[in-house]
Chains A and B, each alone.
Chain A
Amino acid sequence: MLLAVVVLGLAWALIAPNYPSFVFPTPADVWASFTRALERGVWPEQVLATLGHLGSAFAIVLVVGLPLGILIGRSIIAEDLSRVVLVFFQTVPTVVLIALALAIYGISDESVIGVTVAGSVTYFLLNVIQGTRSIDRDLVDMARAYEASETTIMRSVVLPSVIPYFLAGARITLGVAWQITLFSEYLMGSQGIGFNVNTSIKLLDTATVFMWGLSVVALTLVVEYGLFRPVERRLTRHIRRA
């Protein structure tokens, strides 16, 4: 992993000087762009804006999607109705969602968050629905036989059963949400990384575009290893095999 990064970095440093900076900037150009953005406070500000969009959308998806997915998963009638809605959201192109959001909210944070939610919620819902379907009926019967309330069954049997699917769904959703958030910011944002990529490329400042690209890669890794993996380990302790 580390070796691959070093090799790629060296190759970049060797090849880039043969091209003009607006086509293929050197590592030094990109680094300069990064330090400039840091000094002016642009980097933390814009990163926070994007994380704000992404975090809000992701939180809405989790908070709405988990109960909704369980509800749909546990009832057969709701599934038939909701399948139409799910298929709709999954097949509507993001571009159309963006156009609609522009018509309704205009250029705003709400538009970015709304499109990200609409574009990514299905991935999460489908996983939660599948998880709810796969709950072991024997365990539910056991809980009923011991006179557990419906609330207890939900908390002690249903939710823990759904956790692996919840995590898988959350991971896919987060990946999709990253892309949609940046794309939405590019097309209709007033701030954020996607918005900055848009303004930079209009000025042919390719080094800054590279800088934001690498920043997103770094942020994704931080979220994955700093947040996602520890949470996952904690929630799936019992699954670890000796």
Chain B
Amino acid sequence: MADHSVEAPLLTFDRVNKSYGRRADEPVLVDINLEVGRGELVAIIGPSGCGKSTLLNLMAGLTDVTSGSVRIADSGIRSAYVFQNPRLLPWRNVQANVEFSLEQVSMSGKDVRERATQALELVHLGQHRHRYPHELSGGMQQRAALARGLALDPGLLLLDEPFGSLDALTRGYLQEELLGIVRRFRTTTLLVTHDIDEALLLADRVAVMSSRPARIRRVFTLPFGTDRTSDQVIAHPDFLPLRTEIRELLRPEVEATDPGSASDT
């Protein structure tokens, strides 16, 4: 098993095993070793239901490893988690939903309001900030959820298929937007996706996972450089060969997955 180490990593998955079930007899993740450097964007790609989201839940402290360890080098780091579904509080308007993340760190009320407003401008929801979640489209709700994470100015960004529920056009714009933000602020990012193009467009490295129980099959380091646009990536001579290679690597894994069990854990 390859050791995917980097110098002075911010995040470390060290021989992580995770099982569910009362007697921990349903393995989900097996022997996961992965390091993520500061400012790096690592995409984790794998078939639906393989346990990719569990990796993020472990990092966010929402669930515990069965064995091994998950480490974050900076203990005081602010992390933001953007889920597959928006998870907005229905009784708060958009502005107040974005403020929720900021309320959890010590900050003056004025700063909270200003930063939430800025984050909403960033995702083009400035005009809608007084509306309630049920008054927004799914795409707008997801953008509000993204703003809630970005408002924190996080040192670590956990993204769980954040664009999965959006239409292709909105997805394209938001991917560009996110790429710009992440590059500008050098935010360390762990992106879970099942979209090969999204991984290639956004990531510095791509970890390809097997179907359940999931192992890391290979980690690709992408040659596209840090300052890039989606057009540049697509025009790069390595783009198509990489895309094909990852796709071929995933093919048996996807075929091994029951198409009926599409939900991620």
CB within 8 Å of B: which residues of A? 138-139, 141-149, 152, 156-157, 160, 163, 238-239, 241-242
Contact of A146 among B90, B91, B104, B135 (CB under 8 A): B104
A239 to B61, CA, bound (A): 32
Count class of interface residues, chain B: 20 to 34
Decide if B32 is an interface residue (CB 8 Å cutoff).
no
Closest residue of B by beta carbon distance from A242:
B135
CB within 8 Å of A: which residues of B? 57, 60-62, 79-81, 83, 85, 87, 89-93, 100-101, 103-105, 132, 134-135, 148, 152, 158
Main DSSP-derived SS at the A contact region: helix
Task: Find out whether the CB atom of A142 lies under 8 angstroms from the CB atom of B87.
Answer: yes
Closest residue of B by beta carbon distance from A141:
B62
Task: Find out whether the CB atom of A146 lies under 8 angstroms from the CB atom of B61.
Answer: no
Q: Smallest distance from the beta carbon of A98 to chain B beta carbons, Å?
A: 41
Among B79, B85, B93, B101, the one with the most A-chain Cβ atoms within 10 Å of its Cβ is B101
Given the complex, which residues of B lie within 8 Å of A145, measured CB to CB? 60-62, 79, 81, 158
Task: Find out whether the CB atom of B103 lies under 8 angstroms from the CB atom of A152.
Answer: yes
Among B85, B104, B134, the one with the most A-chain Cβ atoms within 10 Å of its Cβ is B104
Q: Smallest distance from the beta carbon of B50 to chain A beta carbons, Å?
A: 20
- CB pairs A–B below 8 angstroms (13 shown): A139-B87, A145-B61, A145-B81, A146-B101, A146-B148, A148-B100, A156-B89, A156-B100, A160-B89, A160-B91, A163-B91, A238-B134, A239-B90
Contact of A142 among B81, B91, B92 (CB under 8 A): B81
A146 to B89, CA, bound (A): 13
Closest residue of B by beta carbon distance from A235:
B91
A138 to B57, CA, bound (A): 12
Task: Find out whether the CB atom of A144 lies under 8 angstroms from the CB atom of B61.
Answer: yes
Q: Smallest distance from the beta carbon of B171 to chain A beta carbons, Å?
A: 22
A148 to B87, CA, bound (A): 15
Task: Find out whether the CB atom of B135 lies under 8 angstroms from the CB atom of A152.
Answer: no
Task: Find out whether the CB atom of B90 lies under 8 angstroms from the CB atom of A147.
Answer: no
New A-B contacts (20) at CB < 8 Å, excluding given A146-B100, A149-B104, A239-B90: A138-B83, A138-B85, A138-B87, A142-B81, A144-B60, A145-B60, A145-B158, A146-B104, A146-B148, A147-B104, A147-B105, A148-B100, A156-B89, A157-B89, A160-B91, A163-B91, A238-B90, A238-B92, A238-B134, A241-B134
